[in-house]
Amino acid sequence: MTTSEILLDPYDYDFHEDPYPYYQRLRDEAPLYHNPDLGFWALSRHRDVLTGFRNSTTLSNKFGVSLDPASRGPHASKTMSFLAMDDPAHLRLRTLVSKGFTPRRIRELEPRVTEIAVAHLDTLLEMAADGETVDYVDEFAGKLPMDVISELMGVPQADRAQVRAWADGVMHRDEGVTDVPPAAVEASLNLIVYYQNMVAERRAALTDDLTSALLEAEIDGDRLTDDEILGFMFLMVIAGNETTTKLLANAAFWGHRNPDQLTPVYDDPSRVPLWVEETLRYDTSSQILARTVVGELTLYDTVIPDGEVLLLLPGSAHRDERVFDDPDDYVIGREIGSKLMSFGSGAHFCLGAHLARMEARVALAELFTRIRGYEVDEANAVRVHSSNVRGFAHLPIHVKVR
């Protein structure tokens, strides 16, 4: 299938508005797609994407997982930590980090996540009580995840708004920009310097936060270096912050579009996790992940040479009618289970999956105990423009407070 017949351009604004018709054509007509102009191949069917995630030998992470030129290359692990590594380096670092980033630590964080969510909701609902439109992303979905990461790391309360602003700056791209702009580089440097100082402070005096736990993590005398700790902190900001913000806004948007699906959630908040799972399937934050071919790979009678970029499209895989019944319908409570790939699969399965699900569950449950309904002002909603992440930069809503 040639590029002229089907075009997949991850930088195209039309594609960002609605990628799903593009994916449908890829699955049907070009399950192995090649774009020689942008220099990548892509897999769109569920079975192929899943196999791709689980093949961490032929499909390497060592040049990073983004198509963006500045994010790709042997330096990727500096900001993407073990996500941009292969075994054995990946396994060593991930195992050490896991010593600090434990399920227990996440469980113990939940009461604080609830407090942070409630504080932001108080502000949002106070504004909404006057009948004004509030920006769900600015006031809630965009604040909570980064504040939770700061809570986890031990960033003092007074610094959190600044740290959040830097994190936003790292991710922002204007239209037509396919590479990392100077403002994002500056924001990255500010964050790194801030975290370097934090690590130095903890070296001098340990506390009970994740930063200290990472400094203490040790296996047979092997410890994390300061650079490795910084790389992981940066990964949390990029991978853990942005994707959860997008998940919260995507859930609100598709809930608004499918009110019949939300009615049971208002009556029974225990259904919130099902709402989260269907959102992860239907419109996942993480749409496109890059791998680099090692040696060569033969797929669909085609040899993909060594060093080529292969994109895995979980956003497409989740709409594959070969796997899901009526995949374009948003059905809260449908059977999804292990077919979900929003957090990847195999060796690189997302270490923060527990945290993201817990945050989304807490945030949406707290919201729903306090409102009777909401409407999204779709005309003024603004999508994020990113080559791999899907969601909203702004989502204005009208809220009916209980």
| pLDDT tens-place string over residues 347-364 | 999 999 999 999 999 999
For residue 329, name the pLDDT band (cuts at 50, 70, 90): very high
In a domain, 277, yes or no: yes
236's CB contacts (< 8 A; 6+ apart) are 149, 152, 153, 352
Give the domain extent around 284.
13-401
Asked, for residue 152, whether it belongs to a domain, the answer is: yes
What confidence category does residue 253 fall into, taking pLDDT thresholds of 50, 70 and 90?
very high
What mean pLDDT comes out for the span 157-177?
82
The reply to whether 2 falls in a domain is no
pLDDT value of position 177: 65
The structure's pTM equals 0.94
Strands of 313-395, DSSP E? 371-376, 382-383, 392-394
Residue 381 lies in a domain: yes
Domain membership flag for residue 47: yes
Domain CATH for 88: 1.10.630.10
Span 205-215, pLDDT tens digits: 999 999 999 99
- Is residue 119 within 8 Å of 176, Cβ to Cβ? no
Question: Over the chain, what is the mean pLDDT?
Answer: 93
Sequence-distant (6+) residues with CB within 8 A of 114 are 362, 366
Written as six digits, the tokens of 232 are 């992981």
* Number of structural domains the chain divides into: 1
Write the pLDDT tens digit of every residue in 123-140: 999 999 888 899 999 999
162 assigned to some structural domain: yes
What mean pLDDT is predicted for residues 172-177? 66
Mean pLDDT confidence for 91-114: 95
- Report, as an integer, the average pLDDT of 162-166: 91
